[in-house]
Structure 1
Amino acid sequence: MTIRVVVAEDQSAVRAGLVLILGSAPDIEVVGEAADGERAVELARELRPNLVLMDVQMPRMDGVTATRLVVSEGLADVLVLTTFDLDEYVFGALRAGASGFLLKDTDAKDLITAVRTVGRGEGLIAPAVTRRLIAEFAAPSRPVADAAVLDVLTPREREVLSALGLGLSNAEIAVRLDMAEATAKTHVSKVLGKLELRSRVQAAVLAQELGI
């Protein structure tokens, strides 16, 4: 499978570097480049890539707004690029449904691995970071989810949701619950669909809020 990527970054030199790195991977194809969020959304609608590598601070339309549009329209997964670890833009992008984030100083090997991970439909946030995100998302001012929302899940799907709450990957969920990785991926998709969640991060937050 070739992962088709749109790179959205307003700094031309940084964008060129990202394109060069991703283009060196045999299973990744950069199909479009955007210098602002508005163009990123246009390209996502036109090209239907697997993934948009999205800078969060861009002109005309910021990356958070662009992420919200791309995800809500089901155009592609979004991997956010940011200069600062867990800044306000990152929180906004993850709330908007981004599948994960990377710092701009990530090395070439990790960038390619990240794109492949999200391209497989998995989130890209380490468990330690997930806990910090949960603390932010589940702030006292935020309403706590009603446990009744879990009624739509089977017992097995509740176990998968619990594993997502720990920030586990599909492979780790498979080992934890003694199932094939493909089966774990299917369960994750069903959990997100039934609970109307846009990302694994949102599933992790819900699991923590409900104490499962």
Structure 2
Amino acid sequence: MPSPLQTAPDTVPRTAGMHITILLVEDHDMVAEAIWLALDRTDDLEVVGRSLSVKDALADAARLRPAVVVLDRRLPDGDGIAAIPTLKAAAPGTRVLVLTGEATPAVAADVAGAGGSGLILKVGNLGELQAGVRLVAAGEVAYSKGLLSGALDRLTGRTADLGATLTPRERETLGLLGDGLGTAEISQRLGVALNTARNHVQRVLGKLGARSQLEAVAVARREGLLR
């Protein structure tokens, strides 16, 4: 079965007229400079600020309200993954893409469980990072190749009868998520507008108590809503 999450390809088509603002949270100057240049050299991506720590990131995200935060996992004052819920609370609507030197499926599951939208390895190419930013800004998720295997089994499930609250259309949407479809593909499959498909996905996540598509699929499997 296809993965329930998208693996960031090297390129993702740009959406006409889309302008994505980015807050870069990275304490190493050389790494930050390379990432900033790579992201800022395309006309649809704009780095609007850089933070050196979790504390600075929270203040900067609340002030700048970027579309995407590219967040280093290891920062001088804490773990970037652990800071994701607080970061999203400080800047509602902002999506978080974690950047790290090394990771495992367990770490990918931690990112999804914390409400992150993706995890990209620093050892990958900069095109993958650009593609990941575009994916999460569009409401999708992006993980470097090889990080998803085993991640579903590591996410916690729920015990309530969650399926009873889903409408037939929401169950259909959940099934398509389980088949590995992204929001744009769900829109086409259901024959609805992209924003309508996004609303369906968000309602499914809300009813399942999930903070990401990956967690929603994991919960649904555990509760017997997906086979």
**CA shift for structure 1 position 179:** 4.3
Say whether residues 1:21 and 2:38 are aligned partners: yes
Question: How many Å apart are 1:177 and its aligned residue?
Answer: 4.2
Cα deviation, residue 116, structure 1: 0.7
2:131 maps to which residue? 113
- Is the Cα contact below 8 Å between 2:105 and 2:148 reproduced in 1? no
Distance 1:205 1:192 in 2: 11
Q: 1:132 to 1:126 in 2, by over 3 A?
A: farther
The aligned amino acid for 2:152 is I
Q: What CA distance in whole angstroms lies between the structure 2 residues aligned with 1:76 and 1:129?
A: 23
2:83 match: secondary structure: helix
Partner of 2:180: 167
Which residue of structure 1 aligns with residue 215 of structure 2? 202
Partner of 2:68: 51
Segment drifting more, 186-195 vs 22-31: 186-195
Q: 1:132 to 1:23 in 2, by over 3 A?
A: same
Q: Is the 8 A contact 2:108 2:147 kept in 1?
A: no
SS at match of 1:54: strand
**How many corresponding residue pairs?**
207
- Distance, in Å, in 2 between the alignment partners of 1:48 and 1:203 is 26
Q: Is the 8 A contact 2:70 2:98 kept in 1?
A: yes
Which of these residues, 109, 121, 125, is aligned with residue 103 of structure 1?
121
Query: More deviation in 11-20 or 144-153?
Result: 144-153
* TM-aligned CA distance change 1:135 to 1:193, over 3 Å: closer
Cα contact 1:130–1:167 (8 A) shared by 2 = no
User: Residue 151 in 1 paired to residue 164 in 2?
Assistant: yes
Query: Is 1:192 matched up with 2:205?
Result: yes
Measured at CA, do residues 207 and 22 of structure 1 come closer, stay the same or move farther in structure 2, by a change above 3 Å?
A: same
**Structure-1 residue corresponding to 2:52:** 35
Report whether the alignment pairs 1:86 with 2:104.
yes
Provide the TM-score with structure 1 as the length reference: 0.86
More helix by share: 1
What SS is found at the alignment partner of 1:102?
A: strand
Partner Cα distance (2:151, 2:31) in 1: 27
Which structure 1 residue ranges, 4+ long, deviate > 6 Å from structure 2? none
Quote the offset at 1:181 in angstroms: 3.8
Q: Sequence identity, in percent?
A: 35
Is this contact kept in 2: 1:56–1:90, CA < 8 A?
no
Partners of 2:212 and 2:27 in 1: CA distance: 25
CA contact (8 A) 2:39 2:45 kept: yes
Residues 12, 35 of structure 1: 8 Å contact kept? no
State the 1:208 CA deviation: 1.9
How far residue 90 of structure 1 moved from its aligned partner, in angstroms, is: 3.9
Instruction: State the 1:180 CA deviation.
Output: 4.5
**Shift in Å, 1:131:** 4.7
Q: 1:122 aligns with which of 134, 140, 143?
A: 140
CA distance in 2, matches of 1:154, 1:85: 37
Deviations 1:77-105 (A, max 9, x none): 10011111326544333221101110012
1:158 Cα offset (Å): 1.2
- Deviation larger for 158-167 or 99-108: 158-167
In the other structure, the counterpart of 1:183 is 196
2: CA distance between counterparts of 1:34 and 1:59? 11
Measured after TM superposition, the shift of residue 108 of structure 1 is: 2.1
Unaligned runs of 5+ in 2: 1-17
Query: 1:171: Cα distance to partner?
Result: 2.6
**Do 1:9 and 1:54's aligned partners in 2 also have CA atoms closer than 8 Å?**
yes
